[in-house]
Amino acid sequence: MVMKNFKINKNQQPLSDADIARGKDFGKLVQAYKAAKVPFYKSPKQWMGASSVLVASVAAVLIFSKINSADQTSRPFISPPVASADIQSTVYVLNAQADSTINYPGGSKIHVPANAFLDKNGKIVTGKVDLHYREFKKVDEVFLAGIPMTYDSAGEQFHFETAGMMEITASQNGEGLKTNPAALVKIDMVSANKEDRFNTYYLDTIEKKWKYTTQCNFNNANVADSNSAPATSPLPVKEIKQIQNEIVQLEKQKPNKPKKRDTGKPRFSIKVDPSEFPEIAIYKGVKFQVEDSSYRPDKADITWADIELKRLPGNNRYQITFINPNEKYRVIAVPVFDNKDYAAATKIYGQKFETYETALNKKKAGEAALAAKLKAKEEAPKSENDKITAAQKRANDQWAQAELVYRSFQVSDFGYWNSDHPCRLPAGNNMVKLNLTDAKTGQHLNISVCYLVEKERNALFAYGPKGLERFRFDAGKENGVWVMTTDNRLGVAKYSDFKSATTKGGEMELQLTMMNKTLKTTQEVKQYLEL
């Protein structure tokens, strides 16, 4: 039916959930976004308004980003530069059917609920389980573990600054295990960074990219104290509070028992918005019976332009306001049913009440279980896992001195997690072609990757071989460099080396100290990497 300004489609087929799911495609949207965002140097309007110098500089940055980005994709995904110096995991043997709290050296806590592991068939694992855990708090550890530190956001490449990373996996008899969505492991990882600009990311090793999961989540717990005290996890306390709030909210949703109309009282019907008043919309044949003395028969004959319905606190009462441009009339009413609708309403009420009661009982049982769990934790003797060796304590001395916080992770999948902040390459004015040579032999070095490290910033800025042609750094900062050559050798330029490097005609000559192949252990290589 075509009429005047609009095309009328009568009783068009409604949209189903499947239609909605079919149409949704965020990847396609991102592609369209990239295509729609015309680069500055391609826009004629921008060309006209900008000076040629500025355009040349912006174009150079864009071209540079492209070159650098291409370099990164050709590198192996997770590639520890020195296999023997990779950061080692600590393995904990746990009873899969019991709650456990592990105190990791340095203060991090791993809360493992009972039944947290599933086998490859999705069945809950019983018996002993090996839990493997390691942390990477500083960039040298991230570098040694070969973890990628770039993050793609809508096609734009960022570099991670980290407030801490970790890897957690589990196995039984050598078989990898999966997480149980109904009983997730929670980790309170100690971090020396108190800033709230760090998000939580998970490394998807199939798609080969970091994925954002949640916002920054940390608290200022006294980590130093928790090292020596038995584990009294704050988790159950929080959970109890949460479940108590949920109970309060649920009780507000208690369905109202249908009421039969009183023969002597006036009543009327109005249409209600089901989304605003679901408690009324579930019933058919609801009438509103006036409960106060405000009823005036003459108002019943007026045609009202609008009606406002407001839920009143207490016993299933509503305030109804009839509105015309020049007049308002208000009554207090309760929903009632005529005899013919009452039986059906009672049946619906029975069903809804049962659902409500079941949900409420479940929540209350959950509350009781958590309270018992908390009590048990408080009374439990100190476990083996709480003991920290003197050597481990020494290794964490620097962390013990810092002001530490816990960053929390809900481990929905085993693997790598971080609390990081994506940032761009250093924004200084210096851009050079970086030539790298072996300080001992003077030979030119062909690199597979070069990491720029700024002092006092826990970030790795990755440059591929082509990226070195347009190497940016902030001359106002102390900079160091770690490189991996194409023949798998490590090279270092310390802050002092970088500072004294000569720059001529836009090219910087930087000499690197190559690693002696006799260095094998993590500690030895870490020492070598010191800037």
- Under the rule (CB under 8 A), what is the footprint of another protein? 2-13, 15, 19-20, 22-26, 28-30, 32-33, 36-37, 152-154, 156, 196-199, 202, 211-216, 271, 273, 276, 303, 305-306, 323, 325, 412-413, 422
Which residues are registered as beta bridge partners of 329?
A: 322
* 3-state SS class at 344: helix
Alpha-helical regions (H) of 231-286:
235-252, 278-281
Name which of 153 and 220 has its Cβ closer to another protein: 153
- Minimal distance, residue 487 CB to another protein, in Å: 36
Look up residue 320 and give its two tokens: 């109804």
Sequence-ordered list of residues with C-beta below 8 angstroms from that of 1, at least 6 positions apart, any chain = 7, 8, 9, 10
Contact indicator for 165, 136 with CB cutoff of 8 Å: yes
- Minimal distance, residue 402 CB to another protein, in Å: 21
Around Cβ 511, how many Cβ atoms within 10 Å?
A: 19
Name which of 184 and 369 has its Cβ closer to another protein: 184
- Minimal distance, residue 30 CB to another protein, in Å: 8
Contact indicator for 2, 8 with CB cutoff of 8 Å: yes
Name which of 13 and 516 has its Cβ closer to another protein: 13
- Minimal distance, residue 11 CB to another protein, in Å: 6
- Minimal distance, residue 148 CB to another protein, in Å: 16
Name the nearest CA neighbour of 136 among 91, 186, 190, 202: 190
Task: Compute the CA torsion angle 348, 349, 352, 358 (nearest 10 deg).
Answer: -130
- Minimal distance, residue 286 CB to another protein, in Å: 17
How far is residue 179 from each of residues 112, 127, 153, 192, 418, measured CA to CA in Å? 11, 16, 27, 28, 18
Indicate the pairing of strand 430-438 with strand 507-514. parallel
Q: How far apart are CA 292 and CA 296, in angstroms?
A: 11
Sequence-ordered list of residues with C-beta below 8 angstroms from that of 355, at least 6 positions apart, any chain = none
- Minimal distance, residue 202 CB to another protein, in Å: 7
∠ CA 327-329-332, nearest 5°, is: 165
Name which of 271 and 517 has its Cβ closer to another protein: 271
Name which of 424 and 499 has its Cβ closer to another protein: 424
Contact indicator for 512, 480 with CB cutoff of 8 Å: no
Which residues are registered as beta bridge partners of 187?
A: 110, 409
Name which of 215 and 389 has its Cβ closer to another protein: 215
Name which of 413 and 478 has its Cβ closer to another protein: 413
- Minimal distance, residue 156 CB to another protein, in Å: 8
Name which of 45 and 387 has its Cβ closer to another protein: 45
